[in-house]
């Protein structure tokens, strides 16, 4: 009977696996974007220290970058709320004890 349950639940578990993989890839891309923004902030501070930009230019660009970083952090937190804490076995999906 367990084999029949596995066969019947295979399409659902496959779709669930695909969504988890997509979520994992999206999470990695957001992490990469956050690292890119941090690097841009570091370069911006260097430009200010070397005198290439003025305080006003620095403040405007820093605000934009910090807003982007906040948005990335918010999206990562929102994604974390919807993540499944673990894998669900086929028996749990079907409702068998």
Q: Which H or E run contains 87?
A: none
The reported pTM is 0.64
Q: What is the DSSP letter of 51?
A: T
- How many domains, the chain? 1
For 23, the domain range is 2-94
Q: Region 4-27: what's the mean pLDDT?
A: 88
Q: Are 69 and 34 in contact (CB under 8 A)?
A: yes
Banded model confidence at residue 1, pLDDT cuts 50, 70, 90: low
Segment 36-84, tens digit of pLDDT: 999 999 999 999 999 999 999 999 999 999 999 999 999 888 876 655 5
Helix 2-50 to helix 55-82 angle (10° resolution) is: 170
What pLDDT is recorded for position 90? 42
Q: How far is CA 3 from CA 17, 39, 61, in A?
A: 19, 52, 59
**Which carries the bigger pLDDT value, residue 84 or residue 31?**
31
């Amino acid at each position: 009977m367990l084999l029949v349950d596995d066969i019947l639940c295979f399409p659902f578990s496959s779709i669930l696996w695909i969504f988890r993989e997509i979520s994992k890839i999206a999470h990695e891309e957001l992490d990469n974007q956050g690292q890119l923004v941090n690097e841009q902030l570091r370069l911006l501070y260097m430009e200010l220290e070397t005198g290439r930009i003025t305080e006003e230019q620095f403040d405007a660009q820093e605000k934009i970058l910090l807003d982007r970083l906040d948005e990335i952090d918010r999206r990562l937190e929102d994604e974390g709320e919807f993540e499944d804490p673990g894998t669900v076995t086929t028996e749990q999906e079907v409702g068998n004890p």
